[in-house]
Chain A
Amino acid sequence: MSQQPLVTLQNVGKTFGPVTVIKDVTVSVYAGKVQVLLGENGAGKSTLIKMMAGVYQPDAGHIVVDGQTVTLPTTRAAEELGIATIHQELNLVPTMSIAENVMLGRMPTKRGMVDRSALRNRARAALALIGLDVDVDTLVGDLGIARQQLVEIAKALSINARILILDEPTAALTRHETESLFAVMADLRRRGVGMLFISHHLDEIAEVGDTVTVLRDGEFIAEVPASTPEDDLVKLMVGRSIEDQFPRVTGDMSQASEILTVDRLTAAGSFDDISFTVKAGEVLGIAGLVGAGRTELIRAIAGVDRYTSGTVAVRGRYLPNGSISAAIAAGIGHVPEDRKGQGLVLDASVNDNLGYATLASTAKLGLVDFAGQRSRAGEVAKKLRIRMHTIDQPIGALSGGNQQKAVFGRWIIAASTVLLLDEPTRGVDVGAKVEIYELMNAITAAGGAILMVSSELPEILGMSDRILVMRDGRLAGELTAAEATQDAVMTLAARDVDEKHEQR
């Protein structure tokens, strides 16, 4: 790499009060290359990209763009130098059209009025840059998350971005959508755009990246080629080798009894005629594309949404349709896919969040059992190694992995024996992922049953004892752990799927 980098963060450092977040890190982005930033949550990745995007100023070191030392006091200054960030939370207005979003803040005008035809033309030109073929009058809110992301990229390119910072762009995408994003990235690379790419999916690194910068605890650890084996990357990232990314331990299930029985369950428009059982000690994985009805199925079993026909039974007792409290009383615990939106009250304390499911059942004469709740919460937090300052801290301040452990902890306090997990490790770093897997082992070893929906195939393959594949709201097939491979699952999941399901 003898060419001059587009942008370099040179020996930068950053402290917040007494805490050093970044110490002496150097990272460069080259034209036509994808630089991958790798590190656990809290390693300093987001602080680093915020320095590059003009959100934070480095306390030490400097920023070099095209060989010139620059300061980036605002995001606007960074944009003017061609640096654009595609955030995880997209900066689009869902109630406005694609054209208006792409041209937001620089609407073409004619005699003080918005020039609608120029607006459309320039937006179309922007979408053409990445080969996105959609009507520019479509409301952004009507697009799926993948296409919204592409709109955001088109918007960045239309203001002449040469350096794209992509902060976990694949976190919310299906495998298929990820592949189309990678195709766009490959095209941009050919056209000389430099990219800084962040992802928790190790398997994506070799596929899309050129070079990997590994960070740990705010420090530069190594720069290695993207073709480095995953195990080595994990070792660099966590500072120790994680023996097994998927430490599934399966007990002997020949004598195990059926705990969860789902029979011909149907919810019009979501899923149709689903039957299966889960035994004590078993992890049953549900694979499928987004929109295949997996989340809807889990929610129906948990009593969150009503179903049209069929039955759900726990230990032979039928559950009433659409009753969360009856499901909880029968031993069901539901870990929803959207931790922040559905799992936690972010402003409330860790203690409160751990106790919501047991608030009423442990109360005496309608009065909250504060002392008992504290001791139960403290015990579980310790057992699950939830890292926090105090148990009265707002849970929103914890890392994703620790937040997720708290959602599990709520059901452990409730002594749930059937756990319904929806994307249990989304947005969780490698170390915490393994802790969650070990927790799943502990739950099944104690005779619990787990039903897990996940879009991460390695997780499904690595942690399930049996795998159901859903396609278009129906069961497409069942695989044992032994016979399941990525290809086998995807063949079942994707056969005959037309575009409309992909867009969701």
Chain B
Amino acid sequence: MSTTTLPAKRRGIDYKKFLANNGALVGLVVLCLALFIATPDFLTAQNLLNIGIQVSTVAVLAFGMTFVIVAGGIDLSVGAVAALSAMSSGWMFASAGLPGWLALLGGLFVGALAGTINGLANAYGKLPSFIATLAMLSVARGLTLVISDGRPISTPAEVSFLGGNLGPVPMPIVILVLSALAASFLLNRTVIGRSMYAVGGNAEAARLSGLPVKRILVTVFALAGLFAALAGLLLAGRLDSAQPQAAAGYELDAIAAVVIGGASLSGGLGKISGTFVGALVLVVIRNGLNLLNVTSFWQQVVIGLVIALAVGVDVLRRKTRSS
């Protein structure tokens, strides 16, 4: 502790604060500039649209994850729930013969239901969210395989529309923007959204203030399930089919995006805009490394380092905040 040099350090602290509060955004800008210089293929309309489409799945999953992490929990099941929702939708259409639009809504319902079960297990069953959603990961993935018998099922046109185009704009990007706006509105403006911050910050204080903590937690996980279902349907729409192994491991990308975006895993902190930037960082890195012909093996190494760096920034932020 060299507190004697504190006055001289003042400017350093402000700089640190700026970096800490906007670290992910600064990182993203630097990344884009570097890629722009490194390869002419980066800043092309086609590549940017590609990035937009790729980020849509991760970001929509991560928006749902943001609710959970702000409320102090974690959801490991979102990838599996995405797959189960899409598969259920395909099954309702192909095997049960429901109309396409109903199958689409059915898929969303299955996601919300799986999330609700997570929430009930966490809030009323007293299972830690890590355990409850780890169990759901396995159950949902298993059910996906049971329903599909391990084979892809083709999805209705309504689902394929989600993977198509709206005029010149790919639908995934439209869905991405709409869900970002909805998630942001929910988190910032509504009673349930503001309550999530209180529950994540100090659940006991929130409860003693009269907030319905258990109901809030169930809602939070249900929303995460709903967003996961939407991401799963986006993914299926792009392939015109629901794949049994779709979105495997995506929960880790979603968590990484939320954390890179500045949320705290101990709860009470996090923003949709941050999560969006975090998802972009992940996708742009992958895209850039692909353009630079870096193998996917090395990509994993780089992604890991970026996550470590982002959490380092999180720690730094707490330090500057507490001093």
A residues contacting B by CB (< 8 A) are: 15-18, 55-57, 59, 302, 304, 324-325, 328, 334, 336, 341-348, 352, 356-357, 359-360, 363, 366-368, 394, 410
Contact = CB atoms under 8 A, between A and B. Distances in A.
Given A324-B210, A359-B194, A359-B195, A343 B189 contact: no
Contact of A56 (B3, B7, B210): B3
A366 B191 contact: yes
- Find the residue from B189, B202, B207 having the highest chain A CB count within 10 A: B202
A359 B211 contact: yes
B30 interface: no
Given A57-B1, A356-B198, A363-B191, A347 B268 contact: yes
Nearest to A344: B205
Contact of B212 (A55, A325, A341, A366): A325
Contacts of A328: 210
Q: Is the interface of A mostly helix, strand, loop or mixed?
A: loop
Contact of B269 (A17, A59, A347, A410): A347
20 contacts: A57-B3, A59-B3, A304-B207, A324-B207, A324-B208, A324-B210, A325-B210, A325-B212, A334-B208, A342-B202, A345-B201, A346-B202, A347-B268, A347-B269, A352-B198, A357-B209, A360-B211, A363-B191, A367-B189, A368-B194
Given A324-B210, A347-B269, A17 B190 contact: no
Contacts, number: 88
B276 interface: no
Contacts of A347: 201, 268-269
Contacts of B268: 345, 347-348
A367 B202 contact: no
Given A16-B6, A325-B212, A342 B205 contact: yes
A352 B191 CA distance: 12
B260 to A, nearest CB: 20
A367 B204 contact: no
Nearest to B13: A17
A342 B204 contact: yes
Contact of B191 (A344, A346, A348, A367): A367
Contacts of A56: 1, 3
A356 B210 contact: yes
Given A356-B209, A363-B191, A368-B191, A348 B1 contact: no
Query: Interface residue tally of chain B, by bracket?
Result: 20 to 34
Interface in B185-225: 189-195, 197-198, 201-202, 204-212
B209 A367 contact: no
A341 B202 contact: yes
Nearest to A304: B208
A367 B190 contact: yes
Nearest to A59: B4
Nearest to B189: A367
B10 interface: yes
Contacts of B7: 17-18
Given A347-B201, A347-B269, A352-B198, A336 B1 contact: no
Nearest to B6: A17
A345 B198 contact: yes
Contacts of B194: 352, 359, 368
A366 B190 CA distance: 6
Given A356-B198, A356-B206, 6 more contacts: A59-B3, A324-B207, A325-B212, A341-B205, A345-B202, A394-B321
A436 to B, nearest CB: 18
Contacts of B210: 324-325, 328, 356-357, 360
A22 to B, nearest CB: 12
Contacts of A360: 191, 195, 210-211
Contacts of B207: 304, 324
Nearest to A370: B189
Contacts of A367: 189-191
A77 B135 CA distance: 50
Given A328-B210, A367-B191, A368-B191, A352 B197 contact: yes
In the A-B complex, the 4 residue pairs with the closest CB atoms: A345-B201, A356-B209, A328-B210, A345-B202
Given A363-B191, A366-B191, A302 B202 contact: no
Nearest to B188: A368
Contact of A368 (B190, B205, B211): B190
Contacts of B1: 55-57
Contact of B201 (A15, A55, A348, A363): A348
B208 A366 contact: no
A432 B252 CA distance: 48
Contacts of B195: 359-360
Contacts of B201: 345-348
Contacts of B191: 359-360, 363, 366-368
A57 B4 CA distance: 8
A325 B211 CA distance: 8
A425 to B, nearest CB: 18
A218 B206 CA distance: 36
A343 to B, nearest CB: 6
A328 B212 CA distance: 12
- Find the residue from B4, B197, B201 having the highest chain A CB count within 10 A: B201
A356 B201 CA distance: 12
Contacts of B269: 347
Nearest to B200: A345
Interface string B236-280: 000000000000000000000000000000001100000000000
A375 B172 CA distance: 42
B208 A342 contact: yes
